[in-house]
Amino acid sequence: MTMIRKFVAGALALLAGGTVAAVLIQPGAATADKRDQEPIVIGHRGASAYRPEHTLLSYETAIGLGADYIEPDLVSTKDHILVARHENEIGGTTDVADHPEFTSRRTTKTIDGVAVTGWFTEDFTLAELRTLRAKERIPDLRPENTAFNGLAPIPTFDEVIDLAQRYGVGVYPETKHPTYFDSIGLSLEEPLLATLARHGWRKSTDPVFIQSFETANIRDLHKKTKLRLIQLVNGSGAPYDHVAKGDGFTYDQMVTPAGLKDVASYAYGVGVATTRILPVGADGRTVAPTTLVRDAHRAHLDVHTWTVRPENSQLPVDYRRGDSASPVYARATGDVTGYLNKLYDQNIDGVFSDDPGVARAVLGARARH
């Protein structure tokens, strides 16, 4: 048993004694999900409620908790290898600051129009990144996860696929900052498709979704692959490729009936912020659901939503529980079950969750009733 496996085994044993029982997935042949099946559960950055995000430890925990898909956000190394990080800046998710040999690589770059200071994957070879270890990104919210700091390296996309295929689940990669990476000669799309093909995944029936917040790269991928594509839709703002062009196109325009019809010409579905489905008012409480899911389905698009997190501070006010004066109120678990049920009631086709176990458990309870 590998060290990762040992930690996961212990983690699942502990989780099984809590509110969510571990559902161990046996290796098998995953296939694409049909639209008439129950919603899929996507392990958001793995099981990031329990382990440092984007590590094999987090992904394997997500699989053990019942995720149908695991989500690696992808960025490039200097030698054009895809690795799993939510951002190309790695100061907040690795111990790079503790490596004096890399002190001089700390710099400031403009990423999608924003000045960012830190260390960036594109300035490191894969061999150099291998000397680093992951750490919890939000330790104040998830202090228990810091027990796993320093244990896991940054995984390559190849390694994430190997893990998924070993257990018979799918992958749901996101290309991060594609316009930026194109601008520095490290395009993400070509190595993405090549890596998937190397593992035998090329068809629309394979358990793969490719997602992006930008549009030009998804449109381009539509011409190059039969794999299912998901157009991500933020709660506000605009796709950065449109910002860079200055054409004024926004995400709000994308979710109109006409906008969704256009998305359907190049994508299998949309991945939308939960507030696009269950908006919140000025007081932070949910208000009446939108018609987005209905409108998207009429355009023959699947709807996946992100991101459900269990902590009070990450839920709408009406789903928070406990004493708001408590020092641990923000990170205490809220009524995530109720929130998931409300989302499932809207006929969504999939949900991204930091705790895929509770998303799976709620589906199981609904099936029994």
Give the SS3 label for residue 317: helix
DSSP states of 223-250? HH--SEEEEEE-SSS--HHHHHHT----
Give the per-residue pLDDT at 37: 84
Which residues does residue 42 pair with via DSSP β-bridges, in sequence order?
69, 352
| Calpha distance 199→162 (Å, rounded) | 8
Q: What is the CA radius of gyration of the chain?
A: 20
Give the per-residue pLDDT at 36: 60
CA distances from 86 to 30, 83, 118, 158, 244 (A): 25, 10, 14, 17, 21
pLDDT in tens, the chain (369 residues): 344 444 444 444 445 444 343 444 433 344 443 456 899 999 999 999 999 999 999 999 999 999 999 999 999 999 999 999 999 999 999 999 999 999 999 999 999 999 999 999 999 999 999 999 999 999 999 999 999 999 999 999 999 999 999 999 999 999 999 999 999 999 999 999 999 999 999 999 999 999 999 999 999 999 999 999 999 999 999 999 999 999 999 999 999 999 999 999 999 999 999 999 999 999 999 999 999 999 999 999 999 999 999 999 999 999 999 999 999 999 999 999 999 999 999 999 999 999 999 999 999 999 998
CB 141 within 8 A of CB 96: no
Which own/partner pairs from 234-237 qualify as long-range (CB within 8 Å, at least 24 positions apart)? Answer: 234/273, 235/273, 235/275, 235/276
CB 254 within 8 A of CB 233: yes
